[in-house]
Amino acid sequence: MEKIITLNNDGSLNVPDTPVIPYISGDGTGQDIWNAARLVLDAAVEKTYEGKKKIIFLEVLAGKTAFEKTGEWLPKETLETIKKHRVAIKGPLTTPVGEGMRSLNVAIRQELDLFACIRPVRYIKGVPSPCNDPQAINMTIFRENTEDLYKGIEWEAGTPEAKEAISFIREKSGQDLDENFTGIGIKPISIKNTKRLVKKAIQFAVDNKRPNVTLMHKGNIMKFTEGAFLKWGLEVGDEFSEIITEQELWDKFDGRVPEGKIILKSRIADNMFQQVLLRPEEYDVIACPNLNGDYISDLLAAMVGGLGLAPGANVGSECAVFEATHGTAPKYAGLDKVNPGSVILSGAMMLDHMGWQPAAELIRSAIQKAILNKRVTYDLARQIPGAIELKCSGFAEEICACMD
């Protein structure tokens, strides 16, 4: 019988054997990817639990399909259903550039208060990488998911709102901005959202015995937003007995990490980009404001095979929505071509989150085998000499075959 996942008093999940999980298939390539991902998720659960457990997937609408069927891009019912079921999975949704509605993805994250975007980046053997030592790449990004860029406070150049903001800025700061030809964007970063994000990142490092957490910021230039992120992040570090800062490491321990301690590092964002490329082994968990997290996610994804293999989770205290890092890749829509690996791996993260780790592990090892067999989608095939290019659906079938 179908059942609903519930939340225990301590925040952990109570997962029945046949949980209902809402899904949004997504725009563009979303439908192809979702069909492929569902095949793999169902097969992994079936093979692992031999019929004793099964996910009952429930479609909820968002994006183009929702608009065509209901006249709304993000029906209230979709958010209510996700809230009620606690765990959901989604494909990518289109956001127009420079005009039109604000992002539905952002709306979902904000409405459900999914404050942490968690993106693990790990090298899979056999995947082409532009780095010399890709095996060293094993990082988990914690990107703040509700403010900074995502607040979307902007006024177009020449509008009364932009002019009013410019007049306020002129009065308060003396900055002389051209009031007719200057667009205005505001970047809010708060103590509450910073602290809960950094706390989650550090707790993850503690729970998983990871050696360090880096606060990635641009606090040298934006002192009261990105600089405050660093200050408040360090304050969170003080609350954990496991944490020592890099400064303390040298001042008190002569650079030798004491048993059981986790190093809290701080890096300015531009420096961080070159450091993760040149010395990936020195970075482990990364906590950052929204925009920095957006950029570094795609860079790190490229270091381990590209967006086709980059999973993610948007997690709050009440529910979690699992989704790929990439977008709708519209030029490939309907071609059954793109790599479904990112949504499949996001599904594996979802199974971990539900406590169904053996099924998640089966998926990860089957993807590893398919890649070593060199039977992959176009994005990997064009980089792996001698590879056979499979369609999106074909790659999913290959992964299922590799579960035997």
Q: Which residues are catalytic?
A: 150, 218, 270, 294
Nearer Cβ to ligand NAP, position 13 or 39? 39
Query: How far from 261 is each of 213, 214, 238, 243, 248, CA to CA, in Å?
Result: 11, 14, 13, 6, 11
Chain positions 301 to 360 lying near ligand NAP, rule: CB under 6 A, are 306-308, 323, 326-330, 338-339, 342
Nearer Cβ to ligand NAP, position 62 or 184? 62
CB atoms within 10 A of CB 130: 12
Residue type, 38: R
Least distance CB 243 / ligand NAP (angstroms):
31
In this structure, what token pair is assigned to residue 322? 């699992």
Least distance CB 311 / ligand NAP (angstroms):
11
Nearer Cβ to ligand NAP, position 308 or 316? 308
Query: How far from 297 is each of 137, 142, 302, 389, CA to CA, in Å?
Result: 13, 10, 9, 26
Least distance CB 308 / ligand NAP (angstroms):
3
Nearer Cβ to ligand NAP, position 225 or 346? 346
In this structure, what token pair is assigned to residue 134? 């890709």
**Total residues belonging to the chain:** 404
The position carrying tokens 């599904």 is 347
Distance CA 74, CA 186 (A): 25
The burial of 222, by beta-carbon neighbours within 10 Å (0-12 exposed, 13-18 middle, 19 or more buried), is given as: middle
Strand partners, 121: 139
Distance CA 404, CA 400 (A): 8
Least distance CB 105 / ligand NAP (angstroms):
4
Under rule CB under 6 A, how many of the chain's residues touch ligand NAP?
Answer: 18
In this structure, what token pair is assigned to residue 323? 């989704």
Chain positions 362 to 401 lying near ligand NAP, rule: CB under 6 A, are 379
Least distance CB 152 / ligand NAP (angstroms):
13
List the x/- string, 56-95, binding to ligand NAP by CB under 6 A: ------------------------------------xxxx
Closest residue to ligand NAP, judged by C-beta, is 327
Distance CA 352, CA 361 (A): 9
Query: How far from 398 is each of 43, 62, 328, 334, 362, CA to CA, in Å?
Result: 12, 30, 23, 20, 13
Nearer Cβ to ligand NAP, position 202 or 321? 321
- Contact status, residue 114 vs residue 323, Cβ threshold 8 Å: no
Q: Looking at 13-21, 142-150, 176-184, 300-308, which segment touches ligand NAP (CB under 6 A)?
A: 300-308
Nearer Cβ to ligand NAP, position 323 or 336? 323
Least distance CB 27 / ligand NAP (angstroms):
8
Distance CA 191, CA 186 (A): 16
Strand partners, 259: none
Chain positions 86 to 145 lying near ligand NAP, rule: CB under 6 A, are 92-95, 105
In this structure, what token pair is assigned to residue 71? 């006249």
Q: Report the interface residues with ligand NAP, using CB under 6 A.
A: 92-95, 105, 306-308, 323, 326-330, 338-339, 342, 379
